[in-house]
Amino acid sequence: MNTENTEIDQELEETILENNANEEQAIVEELSVEEQLTQDLAKEKDKYLRLFAEFENYKRRTVKERIELFKTANQEVISAMLPVLDDFDRAITEITKSADESVLKGVELIHEKLKSTLVAKGLEVVDINVGDVFNADFAEAITQIPAASDNMKGKIVDILEKGYKLGEKIIRFPKVVIGQ
């Protein structure tokens, strides 16, 4: 009987040890499942945050593009009106040479009205003066002439045609002559 009890005790002990091992393994599996779920949740949160940030950037970019489009929507019409504005400038120069004051006054009024309408739509004159250092980013050099003095070399000697910008974008570069 003793051997029988010993065998039963051993079997019982082995069963208890197996059950304890199974319980520990189940606890470890539960922890790994929880850890796995936590990792999956962290990955999904990261994906969500990245997608949200990308969408916010998209919204900002499209709003900026839309504002830029509204600023330059009139560009074609305004560009087509620039030669008319130049003609008015030349007409005023020629009419001032004549003695007819009323014609000069009438042309100046029409010129100012056209100019103020274009300015109201966002047109600005590119600020460039005779004597400024030539910068190819803001002006177009038509020709070079010998400079009257050494300090005029590489500088603007004459402005042949005004330049204009619409907002921050130059729609027509000023045409200039530079000293050589």
56 plus 102 within the same structural domain: no
* Structural domain of 174: 124-180
Number of domains in the chain: 3
Q: Cβ distance 177 to 160 under 8 Å?
A: yes
- Please state, in angstroms and rounded to a whole number, the distance separating the CA atoms of residues 152 and 134: 10
Look up residue 148 and give its DSSP letter: S
52 plus 114 within the same structural domain: no
Burial 19-31 (b: 16+ CB within 10 A, else e): eeeeeeeeeeeee
1 plus 60 within the same structural domain: yes
Average pLDDT over residues 76-102: 88
Q: What mean pLDDT value characterizes the chain?
A: 86
60 plus 91 within the same structural domain: no
Q: Which CATH number fits the domain that encloses residue 159? A: 2.30.22.10
Asked whether the whole model's pTM tops 0.85, one would answer: no
Confidence at residue 29, expressed as pLDDT on a 0 to 100 scale: 63
Question: Between β-strands 175-179 and 140-145, what pairing exists: parallel, antiparallel or unpaired?
Answer: parallel
- Please state, in angstroms and rounded to a whole number, the distance separating the CA atoms of residues 86 and 63: 35
The closest of 130, 135, 139, 138 to 175, measured between CA atoms, is 139
8 plus 59 within the same structural domain: yes
Residue that is last in its domain, among 104, 121, 138: 121
- Please state, in angstroms and rounded to a whole number, the distance separating the CA atoms of residues 56 and 61: 9
14 plus 80 within the same structural domain: no
Whether 28 has a pLDDT exceeding 70, the answer reads: no
Question: Which pLDDT band holds residue 63 (cuts at 50, 70, 90)?
Answer: very high
92 plus 28 within the same structural domain: no
At 120-176, the pLDDT tens digits run: 988 999 999 888 888 888 899 999 998 888 888 889 999 999 999 988 889 999 999
54 plus 114 within the same structural domain: no
